[in-house]
């Protein structure tokens, strides 16, 4: 099958049998829902850009499994060049959408599982690797979107899955059959879940042997019987229901997250890629986290580019662009953003080939990259808000601007320097608000902290990967200290 167009993708999502809830109501047509449609537009764009010759080198690649041209988001990395192009593609998508574009989790998860299923087969003689390759061929040939599901609700985080008072706090196998398994539980924070053809599930953390029923990795259609999606509420999301487009900030694109319930969902054997091998769960999670932390050096940087541009615009509109302190703040924003990109590229360039044949990132540098992501976007947001001024959170609404009674006051008193209209200035301010405080902040500001694991998780991996004993030996050698 050829790559789908954006319109073909939208219709393929429309034709599925969804069970989506939002605001206490079942959503019968989420494709055209004004709150949810901006998130779908991000995915639609990823299809259209793959067919645009201007972006072909980044957005598409030849599959080593089929020899066909595929979307790079469905690719199994074959070189460090692939790893670097993934990060560059993610930056490009962030620049184009100013939002989370929702395809990174499966890109990273599929590569983690590709390598790990091979390793499991080598130890246990299972057939997961070939099964997973067949699955990826199907995903690539059909040009599917696959959402990644990792984070369990967890309940009491101080105790393991089997000790929870409610065993469903971690997704688990509740019944084993000859033709597959039945699973129950939930997964939280599912990025892009309402826009995906399939949902791919992995454990959320390393497990002990007694947690065998929780050691399950699989994929099923997102409209499978027993799946219920409850859309997460975002700041300012109901502005999308209003007439006009100024107050939304970014009216075309946006992200979506959801709590996804698995109520006795059947998973056939051919869709199971790990089933009880608890000794490989930690490795699988570590590999996924490494790939995903590397990705943040691209996606967050692209959105950062948009925020830097908006800050520079509002400086122009406010007539302060030539002030030395404003120039310095914008330089600092650029410096921080490019530092994040450097981490993504460096961890890709230092990637290594796994036993399965795909390429894995430099784990230490990927964690350093993500540790910086937990900090730098917050400073970039702070500086953007500083440059914009308090008006970014006190500006009147678009309805006031359009009002026959008071609109002329808004136009008179909120116009900018050099004839910049109040509407133009308000559009820039609302974009800054959207990126730092509104719906896009979910995929930029807050996700920078918690996405791909908490800051402490990265610090633990940095400690493990730093090889401190080797550094001690270097110091001893130069200091001529006896070993």
List, by residue number, the catalytic residues: 100, 104, 191, 257, 292, 296, 299, 447
Classify strands 146-149 and 198-201 as parallel, antiparallel or unpaired.
Answer: parallel
> What distance separates the 2 farthest-apart alpha carbons in the chain?
85
Residue 221 CB contacts under 8 Å (≥ 6 apart), including other chains = 16, 197, 198, 199
Q: What is the C-alpha to C-alpha distance for residues 369 and 50, in angstroms, rounded to an integer?
A: 27
CA distance 189 to 152: 9
User: Rounded to whole angstroms, how far apart are CA atoms 401 and 464?
Assistant: 56
CB contact at 8 A, 395 and 407: no
Using DSSP, state whether 336 is helix, strand or coil. Answer: helix
Q: What tokens does 133 get?
A: 């390759």
- Lookup: tokens for 119: 């390793």
Residue 318's H or E segment, with its range, is helix 281-318
Residues 172/135, Cβ–Cβ less than 8 Å: no
Closest CA to 380 of 428, 424, 342, 339: 339
Contacting residues for 403 by C-beta, under 8 A, at least 6 apart: 410
Angstrom distances, CA of residue 405 to CA of 410, 411, 427? 10, 12, 21
Nearest to 60 by CA among 140, 142, 156, 154: 140
Tell how strand 198-201 and strand 25-27 pair up.
unpaired
Strand pairing class (60-62; 25-27): unpaired
How many other CB atoms are found less than 10 A from the CB of residue 178?
Answer: 5
Residue 280 CA: distances (Å) to CA of 213, 219, 220, 275, 358? 14, 18, 22, 10, 18
The span from the CA of 449 to the CA of 199, in Å, is 24
Structure tokens at 212: 């065998």
């Amino acid at each position: 099958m050829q790559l789908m167009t954006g319109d073909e993708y939208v219709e393929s999502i429309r034709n599925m049998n969804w069970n989506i809830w939002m605001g206490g109501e079942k959503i019968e047509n989420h494709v055209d829902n004004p709150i949810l449609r901006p998130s779908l537009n991000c995915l639609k764009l990823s299809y259209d850009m793959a067919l645009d010759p201007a972006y072909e080198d980044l957005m598409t690649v030849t599959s080593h499994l089929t020899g066909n041209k595929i979307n790079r988001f469905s690719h199994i990395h074959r070189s460090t060049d692939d790893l670097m192009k993934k990060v560059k593609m993610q930056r490009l998508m962030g620049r184009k959408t100013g939002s989370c574009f929702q395809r990174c989790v499966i890109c990273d998860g599929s590569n983690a599982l590709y390598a790990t299923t091979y390793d499991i087969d080598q130890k246990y003689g299972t057939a997961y690797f070939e099964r997973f390759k067949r699955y990826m061929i199907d995903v690539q040939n059909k040009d599917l979107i696959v959402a990644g599901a990792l984070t369990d609700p967890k309940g009491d985080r101080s105790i393991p899955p089997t000790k929870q008072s409610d065993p469903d706090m971690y997704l688990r196998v509740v019944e084993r059959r000859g033709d597959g398994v039945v699973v129950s539980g939930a997964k939280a924070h599912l990025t892009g879940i309402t826009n995906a053809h399939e949902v791919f599930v992995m454990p959320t953390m390393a497990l002990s042997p007694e947690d065998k029923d929780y050691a399950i990795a699989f994929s099923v259609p997102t409209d499978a019987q027993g799946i219920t999606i409850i859309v997460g509420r975002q700041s300012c999301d109901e502005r999308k229901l209003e007439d006009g487009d100024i107050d939304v900030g970014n009216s075309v694109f946006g992200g979506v997250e959801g709590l996804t319930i698995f109520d006795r969902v059947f998973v056939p054997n051919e869709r199971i890629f790990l089933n009880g091998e608890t000794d490989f769960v930690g490795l699988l999670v570590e590999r996924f986290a490494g790939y995903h932390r590397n990705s943040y050096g691209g996606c967050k940087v692209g959105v950062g580019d948009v925020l830097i541009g908006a800050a520079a615009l509002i400086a122009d509109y406010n007539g302060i662009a030539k002030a030395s302190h404003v120039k310095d703040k914008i330089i600092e924003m650029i410096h921080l953003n490019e530092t994040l990109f450097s981490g993504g590229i460096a961890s890709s360039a230092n990637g290594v080939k796994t036993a399965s044949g795909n390429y894995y990132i430099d784990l230490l540098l990927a964690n350093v990259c993500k540790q910086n992501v937990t900090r730098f976007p917050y400073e970039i947001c702070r500086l953007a808000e500083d440059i914009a001024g308090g008006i970014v959170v006190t500006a009147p609404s678009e309805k006031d601007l359009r009002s026959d009674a008071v609109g002329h006051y808004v136009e008179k008193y909120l116009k900018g320097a050099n004839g910049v209209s109040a509407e133009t200035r308000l559009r820039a301010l609302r974009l800054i608000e959207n990126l730092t405080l509104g719906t896009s902040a979910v995929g930029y500001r807050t996700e920078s902290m918690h996405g791909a694991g908490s800051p402490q998780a990265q610090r633990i991996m940095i400690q493990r990967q730093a090889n401190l004993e080797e550094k001690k030996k270097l110091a001893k050698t130069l200091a001529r200290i006896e070993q």
